Amino acid sequence: MSPHEKNVARDVDTPAIIAAKPDVIAPANTKKVFIKTYGCQMNVYDSERMADVLAPIGYAPVDTPDHADLVILNTCHIREKAAEKVYSELGRIRKHKEQNKPDMKVAVAGCVAQAEGAEIMRRAPVVDMVLGPQTYHKLPEMIAKVHRSSGEVLETEFDTIEKFDQLPKHRSVKGFSAFLTVQEGCDKFCTFCVVPYTRGAEVSRNVQQIVDEARGLAAQGVREITLIGQNVNAYIAEGPDGTQWGLGQLIRHVALIGGIDRIRFTTSHPRDMDDELIRVIGEEPKLMPYLHLPIQSGSNKILRAMNRDHTYDHYKQLIAKIRTARPEIALSGDFIVGFPGETELDFEETMRCVEEIGYASSFSFKYSIRPGTPGASMHRQVDEDVKQDRLVRLQELLYTQQEAHNKSLIGKTLSVLVEGAGRKGGQLFGRSPYLTGTHFDGPENLIGQIVDVTITEAGRNSLVGVLAR
Does some domain include residue 167? no
How high is the pLDDT of residue 401? 98
**Co-location of 131 and 252 in the same domain:** no
Distance of CA 221 to the CA centre of its chain: 21
How high is the pLDDT of residue 165? 63
**Co-location of 199 and 279 in the same domain:** yes
Q: Are 58 and 70 in contact (CB under 8 A)?
A: no
How high is the pLDDT of residue 324? 98
Distance of CA 466 to the CA centre of its chain: 30
Domain boundary among 408, 436, 458: 408
353 is in an annotated binding site: no
Q: Are 56 and 168 in contact (CB under 8 A)?
A: yes
How high is the pLDDT of residue 7? 46
Domain boundary among 263, 288, 313: 288
Does some domain include residue 394? yes
**Co-location of 191 and 268 in the same domain:** yes
193 is in an annotated binding site: yes
76 is in an annotated binding site: yes
How high is the pLDDT of residue 371? 73
CA dihedral 120, 122, 127, 130 (to 10 degrees): 50
Does some domain include residue 262? yes
Does some domain include residue 47? yes
How high is the pLDDT of residue 152? 54
Question: Is 379 exposed, middle or buried, given 0-12, 13-18 or 19+ CB atoms closer than 10 A?
Answer: exposed
Residue 90 makes CB contacts below 8 A (sequence gap 6+) with 73, 106, 108, 124, 126, 127
CA distance 414 to 455: 7
Does some domain include residue 96? yes
| Count of structural domains within the chain | 4
How high is the pLDDT of residue 274? 96
How high is the pLDDT of residue 167? 61
Does some domain include residue 125? yes
**Co-location of 111 and 232 in the same domain:** no
Note down pLDDT in tens along the chain; length 469 residues.
333 444 444 454 556 666 555 444 444 457 899 999 887 777 888 888 888 888 877 788 898 888 899 999 988 876 656 677 888 889 999 999 999 888 899 999 888 777 777 788 888 889 888 888 777 777 877 887 776 665 555 555 555 555 566 565 666 788 899 999 999 888 889 998 877 777 778 889 999 999 999 999 998 899 999 999 989 999 999 999 999 999 999 999 999 999 999 999 999 999 999 999 999 999 999 999 999 999 999 999 999 999 999 999 999 999 999 999 999 999 999 999 999 999 999 999 999 999 999 999 999 999 988 877 888 889 899 999 999 999 999 999 999 999 999 999 999 999 999 999 988 899 999 999 999 999 999 999 999 999 999 999 999 999 999 999 8
Does some domain include residue 165? no
Q: Which domain holds residue 87?
A: 3-159
